């Protein structure tokens, strides 16, 4: 008798994972067990203990039986919640009220488990202090001996996204100093920006932005660009996005020729230490993102501002970067940028090219 009880116990323990798991049977006869995570109506993600997340094409599934409740949304925006059984192209959802809702698989647009549904609902209306994603890249180098140089590079990218809008904050800076040279300041460039997108249609959005640039070696005290326009989500998928933006901007920039001479060699009323430009320009912009493999993200951004009120003048900022995830919090970042101005002050160059590489610290809040 004890042997029989022992055998039954072993059998129950062996079957326990399948007794308390979602089960999927494929049309080729294969059977998978785990926990259904989500579906976009085309593919279904099943989390398994042995293989992690497994992606399955919905048309390849012959039968579904779930141990957990799922949130099933159809093409007519109706959502039903309950344990799911299904075959022959139909899902039957057993709701908490005791009723059974029949849903054709062809009408299913979204399936989420409780955890995914909670995350989705939080993403709809996150507070401004929550829902941020992005990272910071910091690099520092120091040399002493035959050279006396120090270099600091900083880049911050923070994005706050909801179903309706997106807020992006960008900051990059590079500073290099050589104490054995005259002047000792080799590079001092700061670029910052804030951009807001509001989706008023599934593919169309309104855009507003402000950018600020300071470049000591180009004698640029500050360039302020305020603009807005319309954008379109030309490509929008889980792995690739491409946004195109067009509009207008107002640019105000101040250049200096360096600090005033003390004591002045000419009367202050005749002294001129810089120039100020103000003009209206067009905005032409693209923002591209592609997830390459499981750990690398490629980003590219181009801002082109041809002047409208100043014929022949234009500005351009190009950015290309990659971030390869090493762990949950750390990654390796490479970034190339080129800032071009068609009308810099005499004696300065038209563009600044910057290449940085270093450790990226990712944050999610």
Confirm whether 13 is domain-assigned.
no
pLDDT 10s digits, 31-78? 999 999 999 888 999 999 888 889 999 888 999 999 899 999 998 888
Q: What confidence score (pLDDT) does residue 15 get?
A: 47
Q: What confidence score (pLDDT) does residue 316 get?
A: 93
Of residues 334 and 9, the one with the higher pLDDT is 334
Instruction: Determine if residue 58 is left, alpha or beta; phi over 0 gives left, psi from -120 to 50 gives alpha, anything else beta.
Output: alpha
Q: What is the number of H-type helices and E-type strands within the chain? A: 2, 21
Confirm whether 191 is domain-assigned.
yes
End-of-domain residue from the set 96, 121, 146: 121
User: Do 84 and 178 fall into the same domain?
Assistant: no
User: Do 165 and 89 fall into the same domain?
Assistant: no
Does the pLDDT at position 169 exceed 80? yes
**How confident is residue 181, by pLDDT bands cut at 50, 70 and 90?**
low
Domain of residue 324 covers: 133-364
> With contact defined as beta carbons under 8 Å apart, do 48 and 95 qualify?
no
| Chain-centre distance for alpha carbon 353 | 23
Confirm whether 232 is domain-assigned.
yes
User: Do 308 and 355 fall into the same domain?
Assistant: yes
User: Do 358 and 276 fall into the same domain?
Assistant: yes
Q: How far apart are CA 27 and CA 323, in angstroms?
A: 39
User: Do 95 and 214 fall into the same domain?
Assistant: no
Q: What confidence score (pLDDT) does residue 6 get?
A: 52
Confirm whether 178 is domain-assigned.
yes
Q: What confidence score (pLDDT) does residue 210 get?
A: 96
Does the pLDDT at position 226 exceed 90? yes
**How confident is residue 282, by pLDDT bands cut at 50, 70 and 90?**
very high
Confirm whether 56 is domain-assigned.
yes
End-of-domain residue from the set 57, 90, 121: 121
User: Do 116 and 196 fall into the same domain?
Assistant: no
Q: What is the dihedral of CA 14, 20, 26, 27, to 10 degrees?
A: 90
Confirm whether 10 is domain-assigned.
no
pLDDT 10s digits, 155-167? 888 888 887 889 9
We report the CATH number of the domain holding residue 154 as 2.40.160.40
CA-nearest of 350, 224, 316 to 276 is: 224
User: Do 230 and 346 fall into the same domain?
Assistant: yes
Supply 161's token pair: 């996204």
Arithmetic mean of pLDDT over the chain:
83
Supply 117's token pair: 């549904």
User: Do 105 and 241 fall into the same domain?
Assistant: no
Confirm whether 260 is domain-assigned.
yes
User: Do 169 and 242 fall into the same domain?
Assistant: yes
Supply 75's token pair: 């093409």
When divided into structural domains, the chain yields a total of 2
User: Do 117 and 181 fall into the same domain?
Assistant: no
User: Do 209 and 145 fall into the same domain?
Assistant: yes
Burial of 294 (0-12, 13-18, 19+ CB in 10 A): exposed
The secondary element (H helix, E strand) that includes residue 17 is: helix 2-19
Does the pLDDT at position 142 exceed 80? no
Supply 121's token pair: 């609902």
User: Do 185 and 330 fall into the same domain?
Assistant: yes
Confirm whether 128 is domain-assigned.
no
Q: What confidence score (pLDDT) does residue 66 get?
A: 92
End-of-domain residue from the set 93, 121, 149: 121
């Amino acid at each position: 008798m004890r042997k029989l009880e022992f055998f039954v116990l072993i059998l129950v323990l062996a079957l326990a994972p399948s007794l308390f798991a979602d089960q999927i049977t494929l049309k080729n006869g294969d059977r998978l067990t785990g926990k259904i995570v989500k579906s976009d109506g085309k593919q279904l993600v099943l989390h398994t203990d042995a293989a992690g997340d497994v992606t399955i094409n919905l048309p390849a599934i012959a039968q579904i039986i779930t141990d957990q409740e799922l949130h099933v949304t159809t093409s007519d925006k109706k959502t039903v919640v309950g344990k799911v059984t299904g075959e022959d192209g139909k899902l039957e959802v057993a709701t908490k009220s005791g009723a059974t809702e029949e849903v054709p698989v062809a009408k299913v647009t979204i399936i989420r488990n409780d955890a995914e549904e909670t995350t989705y609902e939080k993403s709809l209306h996150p507070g401004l202090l929550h829902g941020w994603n992005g990272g910071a890249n910091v690099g520092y180098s120091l040399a002493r001996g035959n050279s006396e140089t120090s270099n600091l590079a900083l880049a911050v990218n923070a994005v706050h996204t909801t179903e309706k809008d997106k807020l992006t904050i960008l900051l990059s800076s590079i500073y290099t100093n050589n104490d054995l040279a005259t002047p000792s300041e080799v590079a001092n460039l700061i670029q910052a920006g804030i951009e807001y997108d509001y989706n008023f249609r599934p593919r169309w959005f309104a855009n507003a932005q402000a950018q600020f640039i300071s470049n000591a070696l180009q004698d640029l005290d500050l360039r302020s660009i305020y603009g807005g326009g319309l954008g379109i989500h030309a490509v929008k998928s889980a792995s690739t996005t491409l946004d195109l933006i067009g509009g207008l901007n107002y640019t105000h920039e101040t250049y200096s020729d360096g600090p005033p001479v003390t004591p002045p060699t000419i009367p202050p009323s005749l002294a001129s230490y810089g120039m100020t430009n103000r003009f209206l320009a067009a905005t032409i912009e693209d923002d591209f993102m592609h997830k390459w493999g499981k750990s690398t993200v490629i980003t590219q951004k181009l801002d082109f501002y041809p002047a409208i009120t100043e014929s022949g003048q234009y500005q351009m900022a190009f950015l290309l970067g990659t971030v390869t995830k090493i762990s949950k919090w750390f990654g390796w970042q490479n970034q190339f940028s080129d800032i071009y101005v068609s009308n810099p002050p005499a004696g300065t160059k038209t563009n600044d090219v910057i290449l940085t590489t270093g450790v990226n610290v990712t944050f999610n809040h």
